[in-house]
A and B are shown apart, each in its own frame.
Chain A
Amino acid sequence: MEAKLKKLFLVVVVISIPIGLFIGHDHVHYFWHKIPSFEAIFGFLGAILLLGAALLLGAIARKKEDFYD
């Protein structure tokens, strides 16, 4: 069940990207608004960036619950 859902999800992800070639951004202000499927790229890289930032934060600033006691 879970494996099937994962496969379905992957299929949807793959399909969603080429659709960006046909549907553009509504208001083009900057160069990235012209890149097809820019949000897909941004979502992928942004998620990795944020995960890295959160892991780094955890490594530096995570302390035991009783740190302040």
Chain B
Amino acid sequence: MTNPVPPFIIFILGAMLVPILKGRLRQLFLLLLPVIGLIDIINLPAGTSWVYNFLGFELIFARVDKLSLVVGYIFVIIGFLGIIYSLHVKEAGQHVAALMYVGSSLGVVFAGDYFTLFVFWEIMAAASVFLVWYRKEKEALDAGFRYVLMHLFGGALLLAGIVMHTVWTGSIAIRTPIHELPFWLIMIGFGLNTAFLPIHTWLPDSYPQGTITGSVFMCVYTTKTGVYVLARCFSNIDFVAYMGGAMAVYGVIFALAQNDARRLLSYHIMSQVGYMVAGVGVGTALGVDGGIAHVVNHILYKGLLFMCMGSVIYVTGKRKLTEMGGLAKYMPVTCVACIIASLSISGGPGFNGFVSKGMVIASAAADHKPILELMLTLASVGTFLSFVKLCYFAFFAKNEEITAQEAPLNMQVAMVLTAFLCVFLGVYPQPLLGLLPYPVPVDYHTFTPGHILATIQLFLLSGLVFMVAKNYFAPHKGIVLDFDLFYRMGGRIILWFCEKPLNAVRSGVQGFLTNEVEGAAVLSRNPYRAGRLIASYFRGDPKEKYLAVRNEPYNVNTYRIPIGVSAGVATIFLFLLTLVYFVFG
């Protein structure tokens, strides 16, 4: 058996081979890659390996501990499910982008130093944007550019923080920055990928614009690598904890107001990532465990939700809730999968979200953060409402016009497998709990009557509100503005500033210089008339007269001096020189 390699190598090398292969062979190869990746991760030795010296620093490509392992496992597993879901895609480029994206995310997860992390961080942004651009419509291209601009901005902050941290501490090992400035720069750099308020706008902007299969990958990797690096460096910080609470509530309120199905899901990513960030920010064993367990569970149910909505869009071509409805009888598999995913994300007992969400909320309560506990509970009310709304208006609301059939087989298989994992980990969470970075505290139990009843009551009473006020929940046409209003308007102001005032200064300066250079060029054709020109200028001659002098060409006969004058001047000069020599010499 060969030695294990850092897992990113398998996916990035694999991505390069994809365009060469065709048809069934390519499908087989795609399916094989994550399997090899999983075997590789299982065999990775604990501790650090693949360490290289670079300019006096240590680059670490494989830092293996419980935290990186659990995230690595789930990244490869959802990679496998995502590949099944996208098997029917013929364009090699989409597969290449997806595999590069998976590979670079694994590179971040197993990186042991900031330089390696940064390089993979940027590859992630560059690879993932192609999953948006491959939809090839103008709105997708524009959203992709905005996505890349924001991520480059975040990357620049991160790099600045890393450079300061390295210069001041002399080490590039990944740990919490000690100095204040790099601390905040690195945290905001990480936070942009984690959809911190108010720099989250790239998420609901670009994820709904991705290709059907691309969005399944996108909803998994970027935000979750963000949570992972926060858990590494910024655990047990109150700012992070409350940021998580704020994201959770903000996300559900915006989700409730959405019409585009995948934008609704995108705001729920923000909200659910809020739980993970809150758990990590609380920083107790239960909090970090809950946050990381939520990463795993969220990847499964959110991947499933994007698969379900992707299937609906693939079959019907409709993306807005106002255009959907009545799909349950045409797409039963998708409908059941979507209900399972909805119950999982809402944290229904017996579904995977219940386990991890409960841990995060309990950790906030136990760590003396009552406001955070209430914020997170409120967000789970909103999540349930939002998914009742999604399922109802997509699958059950009356719509006579719509006809559809079930999605392609590979999509259905992916949905069924993912749904199975959601239920499996919901009923039997022990395999997941065993992989978490800390041992789960002994006084915390998942399935207690208290927890189950609390969740059921929460669902029933908020469900009652939905039933009574169903019409108020109905989706509306149009978009809901978010903080990106300021960024996009700010961008336009910058563009206007460049086009109008800055451009005016440029053309003024250019005009002035052109004029002067032109004048110098004219003058150099006949330098003799400089004196007459100046005199003409100061005399205040009429323009025609001045121009007549200016445009007068050089004429040999006008300006040439007789040779005798030159000879006379030279003779006088020689005479003076001789005189000086004899008198003073």
A interface residues with partner B (beta carbon < 8 Å):
6, 9-10, 12-13, 16-17, 19-20, 23-27, 29-30, 33, 37-44, 46-51, 53-55, 57-58, 61-65, 67-68
Nearest-Cβ distance from residue A33 to partner chain B, whole angstroms: 8
Q: Is B451 an interface residue (CB 8 A)?
A: yes
Q: A29-B365, A54-B253, A57-B253 are in contact. Are A44 and B453 (CB under 8 A)?
A: no
Q: Find out whether the CB atom of A58 lies under 8 angstroms from the CB atom of B480.
A: yes
Q: Find out whether the CB atom of A49 lies under 8 angstroms from the CB atom of B378.
A: yes
- CB-CB under 8 A from A54, the residues of chain B are 253, 256-257
Contact mask for chain B residues 312-331; partner A; CB cutoff 8 A; 1 contact, 0 none: 00000000000000000000
Within 8 A of A (CB), among B242-283: 252-254, 256-257
Q: Find out whether the CB atom of B478 lies under 8 angstroms from the CB atom of A12.
A: no
- CB-CB under 8 A from B456, the residues of chain A are 16
Q: A50-B381, A61-B481 are in contact. Are A44 and B465 (CB under 8 A)?
A: yes
Chain B: CB-nearest residue to A6: B467
Nearest-Cβ distance from residue B543 to partner chain A, whole angstroms: 50
Q: A39-B458, A42-B458 are in contact. Are A57 and B254 (CB under 8 A)?
A: yes
- CB-CB under 8 A from B464, the residues of chain A are 9-10, 13, 44, 47
How many contacts between A and B, using CB within 8 angstroms?
133
Q: Is B136 an interface residue (CB 8 A)?
A: no
Q: Find out whether the CB atom of A24 lies under 8 angstroms from the CB atom of B459.
A: no
Q: A25-B450, A30-B365, A43-B457 are in contact. Are A65 and B370 (CB under 8 A)?
A: no
Nearest-Cβ distance from residue B375 to partner chain A, whole angstroms: 11
A50 to B449, CA, bound (A): 27
Q: Find out whether the CB atom of A46 lies under 8 angstroms from the CB atom of B453.
A: no
Q: Is B461 an interface residue (CB 8 A)?
A: yes
Nearest-Cβ distance from residue A1 to partner chain B, whole angstroms: 12
Q: List 14 A-B contacts (CB under 8 A).
A: A9-B460, A12-B460, A13-B460, A19-B453, A29-B365, A29-B368, A39-B458, A42-B374, A43-B460, A46-B378, A50-B253, A51-B469, A57-B253, A63-B481
Q: Is B555 an interface residue (CB 8 A)?
A: no
Nearest-Cβ distance from residue B329 to partner chain A, whole angstroms: 14
